[in-house]
Structure 1
Amino acid sequence: MAPSLADRRVPARPTRIDQDQGEPPPTASGSDTRGAAPACRGGDRMYKRILAAVDGSPNSYRAVERAAIIAKTQNAELVLANVEPRQPVPESLRQFARVEHLDEGATETWENIARAVLHRASSEATEAAGGELKIREETMIGDPADAILDAADAENPDLIVVGNRGFSQIKGLILGSVSQKLAANAHVDVLIVK
């Protein structure tokens, strides 16, 4: 009697994803793939363009760092997107603008805050990637989730990266729902960074 499928199963080996913990497991061909970009079945890079949303909150900068690392490993373009909502500037962002030494008269404008946020995000992305990285910056106006979805339609990214919570007047409610709306409505992969 032939063994059943259950009898023929080979136990799965745990796979390490942190290269600092040791050598990666060998591939089926025995070749070493360290440093190579993960590929899809066709051998193409998994992600060619990554859209990272940043609003100046700590979680959004963590999302940018994660997006930069992925972009570096995939040799992908990183598009940093900031949305200027149509509402008063919260005090936390006004303080950020002052810390970034923006003109005192301009600290309450979303445009200047967006420039400062994108500049810092670009610097942090370059640092996280360890140097050279293809980065573009985009500023949009409107509802954050809708604007990011529109940017995804226009930019055609393979991945959207966003923090799970950002700045909002009602802590976590508004921008927490941005990540939920993106995950529910985007036509590409969405990575929500905590």
Structure 2
Amino acid sequence: MYKKILAAVDGTSHGAAVVEAVASLAKLTGAEVQVIHIRPSQVIGGAIASTVVPVEESDESRRVVDEAVARLRGEGITADGEVDEGLREELAAILTERADALGSDLIAVGPGHYSGISGLLHPSVSRGVAKVAHVSVLLVRADEA
């Protein structure tokens, strides 16, 4: 069924749920898993001068990926991981391009977690991935109390 899964993690409970779901699928199908975390950046400034600023520290990004890969490998799953960088508006495109480059046949993502005004300002990555992906997309929700 699935041979190569791209698992997008973000350090939230939804990212942890993605890893759990992907672990179950990979054990069932023997799939390899590529974990990816995209360190988001945003443009700060105006029309004359602007700067691209990372939203999180690179150490935090690496920790998110390393923990997910360790969890998968601990289950006997072939897994590797990477940290990419991109503007918030480009995250869905980066994920789908990476899935294409890797030959992934499934992209696993968590749902967007912005609401209200933030939801209007930040595009939904999961919706964007589902719209443009050339492969199946698994949307994984975390159990929240």
Shorter-chain TM band = 0.7 to 0.9
Matches within 5 A, 1:9-48: 46-48=1-3
Cα deviations by residue, 1:42-71 (Å, 9 ceiling, x for unpaired): xxxx11000000011111110111011101
C-alpha distance in 2, partners of 1:72/1:150? 25
Contact conserved, 2:39 with 2:54, CA < 8 A, in 1?
Answer: no
1:170 is matched with: 118
Alignment map for 1:1-194 (pairs within 5 Å): 46-87=1-42, 109=57, 111-126=58-73, 131-142=75-86, 143-166=90-113, 170=118, 174=122, 177-194=124-141
What root-mean-square deviation, in Å, do the aligned CA atoms of Structure 1 and Structure 2 show?
2.4
Quote the sequence identity (%).
36
Note if contact 1:145-1:178 (Cα within 8 Å) is conserved in structure 2. Answer: yes
2: distance between equivalents of 1:165 and 1:64?
16
CA contact (8 A) 2:126 2:139 kept: yes
Are the structure 2 counterparts of residues 67 and 173 from structure 1 closer, same or farther at C-alpha, using a change threshold of 3 Å? farther
Structure with bigger gyration radius: 1
Higher RCO, Cα 8 Å, sep 6+: 2
Dislocated runs of 4+, deviation >4 Å:
166-169
TM-score (ref. length: structure 2):
0.77
Encode CA deviations 1:84-129: one digit per residue, 9 max, x unaligned.
1113566xxxxxxxxxxxxxxxxx52x21111001121233345xx
> Could you tell me which amino acid in structure 2 is paired with residue 135 of structure 1?
A
Q: Which runs of 5+ in 2 are unaligned?
A: 43-52
One-letter amino acid of the structure 2 residue matched with residue 83 of structure 1: I
Q: Determine if contact 1:53/1:81 at 8 Å carries over to the other structure.
A: yes
Give the SS at the match of 1:132: coil
Secondary structure in 2 matching 1:146: helix
Q: Secondary structure at the match of 2:94?
A: helix
The CA distance in 1 between the partners of 2:65 and 2:20, in whole Å, is 13
Pairs aligned (count): 127
Give the unaligned 5+ runs of structure 1. 1-45, 91-107
